Chains A and B, each alone.
Chain A
Amino acid sequence: MAQQRVIVVGGGLAGLAATMRLAELGRHVDLISMVPVKRSHSVCAQGGINAVNSLTRLQGDSEWKHFDDSVYGGDFLQNQPPVKEMCEWGPRIVDMMDRLGVMFNRTPEGKRDQRRFGGTLYKRTAFAGATTGQQLLYALDEQVRRWEVEGKVKKYEFWEFLGPIVDGKGICRGAVAQDMFSMEIRAFPGDAVVLATGGCGMIFGKSTMSMICTGGAAARAFKAGVKYANGEFIQVHPTAIPGSDKHRLMSESARGEGGRVWVPRRKGDDRDPRQIPMEERWYFLEERYPKYGNLVPRDIATREIFNVCVNEGLSVDPNEYCVYLDVTELPSTTQHKLEGILEIYEKFRGLDPRVMPMKIFPAVHYSMGGLWCDFEKDPHTGGLVLDSPRNQMTNIPGLYVIGEADYQYHGANRLGANSLLSCIFAGLIVGPAIDSWLNALPAGSAAAQPSSLFEGEAARHKEQYEQLINSKGDQNPYLLHRELGQTMTKNVTVVRYNQGIEETLAKIDELAERYKRVAIADTSNWTNQNLSFTRALGDMLIMARVIARGALLRNECRGAHYKPDYAIPAPKGGDPETVRTEAVRWVQAFRKQTQEWLKTTIAEYTPDGPKISYEQVDTSLIPPRPRTYGLVGAEIIEQVWRDTQSADEKAAQQAQPAGA
């Protein structure tokens, strides 16, 4: 029998974890990546990785609380079994990365140091300076290199994924990829294909993401029939350094270590920030969210900073929107732990953040949505059946998705330091899932399929390539991309109005029309980056429609998706009776919203734009409840909600026939 092979596309944390795990299970892996895997976007992750630890346990923390924080922070849009499993694996994963050599910061005794991150009250985050993603990625890169030496892994770096190969029965049998130097297009037979291809921030023009994060690979799978879920949920990180080419992340760890966000109380106060006395500064996050302070979940911090600049006119720079993020008062030992990010600020802004407060503003950062994937729930644990071939499998059998490219773990809003965890976790569990899939492969291995299947797919992609390289239109792809980024950022990020989203959809139609007349400036058949970018632009237009369409249809506020026209008005307060009445009204509105909108958006490809439907969310473990961060009368709302819930339960019990 021919040797079975697995194709992993993408070598960030998820792809490398999967490759390592598959190699350990004795599987042979072809690892395809657009960049040397050590240069994948995971290097940009800064703050840390979340897991319950011995310290937080003593304060009453548990895996269940991590799970609860994650689904509450995510506004209950996640299927709960995979999230529960992930939180349980947290301590094991951090221990594993420690054994693999990550230089986590240490306590004097030699244990891992911990910091606090957003959306939790526990110090659950392990870190390596402020470059944790880089260190985690390198440790996995080294393990994969070791397997490469052992002959279990073959790397194809500077190869670009063009699409999955799906046979007549709808089963994935491999992938087509292109050598980014020689431009050779080749079909890779594979008995399972894993997409670990990251996010799609480039759709927004400027984001904190890397240049390869176009969503191109996801779009190519989408076109081949994979469903895309929750596309409209895009995380805008509260603190980034605005830039002309991209926005550079300023990690949440700056606040986790005690950094404070503020603006002068007086509009247009142009004094040197260091000269502004404490009482004339407005620490608006601390004032509005006394419980979480500067560490409220990201969607909330982002909206507050946006609001302070855009609506209240308190930006600290007359030429652009920004607020101060101040780490100047932290002791130098603490600043030392943040060295990696403070250096970035210093290099790109030319000012030392140790002595001068940083100017920051929100920027597009992470896609909570992604390609749809399955899971198998273990009814006994509430978590996953660990060797189920269904875990992480898309709706195309044999095609898997993991990491930021999937939609499974973060719901409507991701908590800081949960993404490194979700990427590694998904990479580790996809190993046994694929192992099971390969052990019961339907209709023989990929190598046993007719060669015409592979030749045909390669030929189809070659034809598309020839067509594109010969386009002689009048439209400049780089300028089209700029226009796409502008319209998406304006209407489909922090605050969304249906009219604006409709404008954006019309703009995307116009851009797609103009894209048909795109001009390729480089006709070389050697290292043609111009072509690769233009091809990805076509994919970005497809995914932009998915994001904007999902956002248009979802008439509610949930996590990162915020539509003021559909916000439930917050109670204004007053005497206890009024608050109670308002709380009851609030809860009624919330109940209606939950019934109507607590569901996953599913997009399916059609040439005329995405077809949208909805799917039930598995909330079997923790019943959804209102997110009440900073809300007036939060306790009363929560009380009214609990009363309503128990009344519902009683009614349900009475509805059961006697003796049932």
Chain B
Amino acid sequence: MAHERTVKLRVKRQDTPGSPSYWQEFEVPYEPQMNITTCLQLIAAHGRTAQGQQAAPVAYDANCLEEVCGSCTMLINGRVRQACSALVDDLLSTPDDVITLEPMTKFPVVRDLFVDRSRMFEHLKRVRAWVPVDNSVDDTPPPLMSQKVQEQGYPLQRCMTCGCCVEACPQVNEHNAFIGPAAIGQAMLYQKHGIGQNLAEERLEALRDTGGVAGCGNAQNCVKVCPKGVPLTDAIARANRQLTIYSLRRWFDR
């Protein structure tokens, strides 16, 4: 029988939130253009480790499989990214390389590669990243928006709350309450929107608080790992400038 090409993976597993982690090795048949989510599906279908022991399917978070929902973020060969857009061919320098999969470290593990990112959504509440309309449907014409404001806003609006930036940021850790780059980006999203700007000061207040913009250490890892090229450091710089002006104005208005 011809030896079929396989892909070797090492997966860091954890059965429950409190329990210790352990590693398991898997081997799945190679397919051209396959990605890591395909590998995880094949592991589930096969149900055995590389050593032939029975293994429960690896738990992981995934949905759209085309890198727009943000679900399947994990550490692949130590780098944070989405599993769906991680192509096996790009991860191997030789066919015998072993690909390692680990859960993100800045969020509590639920099970295996599945982590709890609810904190990120809570932070979106804190920075009031929304447009405060009176009523959604009321036949009021929308404000005009310049191409410049749109070009600045659209890239921020593509943030899918995937957590890559939070994972890569050295300032997000147990000793620090820093809310992380994604939430600051969203706080800046509507600062120039015709209606959204009505909350501009409240958002700046939120960013002045503990864990706000001052938490950024300017490591600039966030923009390097963002899969959507969200201009996070620009947003943080803008937040800093707006805060400075806001603080000065507050001081003069005393």
Contact = CB atoms under 8 A, between A and B. Distances in A.
Contacts of B131: 99-101, 139, 142-143
Contact of A92 (B63, B64, B137, B147): B137
B245 interface: no
A244 B135 contact: no
B201 interface: no
B253 interface: no
Nearest to A109: B144
B57 A529 contact: yes
A92 B136 CA distance: 10
Given A101-B193, A108-B147, A244-B33, A131 B68 contact: yes
Most chain B beta-carbon neighbours within 10 Å: one of A138, A248, A340 = A138
A474 interface: no
Interface stretch (B3-11, B155-163, B216-224): B155-163
Most chain A beta-carbon neighbours within 10 Å: one of B33, B90, B124, B189 = B33
Contact of B114 (A39, A100, A527): A527
Interface in A206-221: 210-212
Interface of B is mostly: loop
Interface stretch (A343-351, A433-441, A608-616): A343-351
A280 interface: no
A476 B64 contact: no
25 contacts: A39-B69, A39-B71, A39-B160, A41-B63, A41-B64, A43-B68, A95-B141, A99-B143, A101-B193, A101-B196, A106-B150, A107-B147, A110-B145, A135-B154, A149-B125, A245-B38, A245-B41, A350-B33, A350-B90, A428-B136, A479-B45, A521-B44, A523-B56, A530-B44, A530-B56
A8 to B, nearest CB: 15
B50 interface: no
A145 B63 contact: no
Given A244-B38, A478-B45, A36 B121 contact: yes
A524 B114 CA distance: 15
B53 interface: no
A105 B150 contact: yes
B154 A129 contact: yes
B206 interface: no
Given A43-B160, A210-B64, A212-B63, A145 B124 contact: yes
Interface in B80-137: 84-85, 87, 89-90, 110-111, 114, 117-118, 121, 124-125, 128-133, 135-137
Nearest to A529: B59
Contacts, number: 195
B63 A35 contact: yes
Contacts of A93: 137
B183 to A, nearest CB: 12
B170 interface: no
Interface string A78-107: 000000000000001101101111111111
A565 interface: no
Most chain B beta-carbon neighbours within 10 Å: one of A109, A348, A349 = A348
Interface residues of A, number: 72
A402 interface: no
Contact of B67 (A40, A344, A479): A344
Nearest to B144: A110
Interface string A519-559: 00111101101100000000000000000000000000000
A347 B31 CA distance: 17
Interface of A: 20-21, 24, 35-36, 38-41, 43-44, 92-93, 95-96, 98-111, 128-129, 131, 134-135, 138-139, 142-143, 145-146, 148-149, 157, 181, 210-212, 243-246, 248-249, 340, 344, 347-350, 428, 476, 478-479, 482, 521-524, 526-527, 529-530
A210 B63 CA distance: 5
A101 B128 CA distance: 13
Contacts of A145: 121, 124-125, 129-130
Most chain A beta-carbon neighbours within 10 Å: one of B16, B32, B90, B131 = B131
A145 B120 CA distance: 12
Contacts of B41: 245, 478
B20 interface: no
Nearest to A523: B56
Interface string B5-26: 0000000000110000000000
Contacts of A521: 44, 47, 54-57
A101 B35 CA distance: 34
Interface of B: 15-16, 31-35, 37-38, 41, 44-45, 47, 54-57, 59, 62-71, 84-85, 87, 89-90, 110-111, 114, 117-118, 121, 124-125, 128-133, 135-137, 139-147, 150, 153-154, 157-158, 160-161, 189-190, 193, 195-196
Contact of B57 (A104, A350, A482, A530): A530
Nearest to A129: B154
A248 B136 CA distance: 32
B147 A106 contact: yes
Contact of B136 (A21, A106, A246): A21
A522 B64 contact: no
Contacts of B67: 344, 347
B3 to A, nearest CB: 21
Contact of B130 (A101, A526, A527): A101
Nearest to A134: B68
Contacts of B62: 211
Given A99-B195, A110-B144, A522 B158 contact: no
A649 to B, nearest CB: 39
A246 B47 contact: no
Contact of A478 (B34, B44, B128, B141): B44
Nearest to A531: B57
B158 A340 contact: yes
Contacts of A95: 139-142
Given A101-B157, A347-B85, 9 more contacts: A95-B140, A99-B131, A109-B144, A347-B67, A350-B90, A482-B45, A521-B57, A523-B56, A526-B16
B57 A344 contact: no
A381 B154 CA distance: 38
A41 to B, nearest CB: 7
B154 A128 contact: yes
B65 A245 contact: yes
A446 to B, nearest CB: 26
B34 A38 contact: no
Given A142-B130, A211-B62, A100 B136 contact: yes
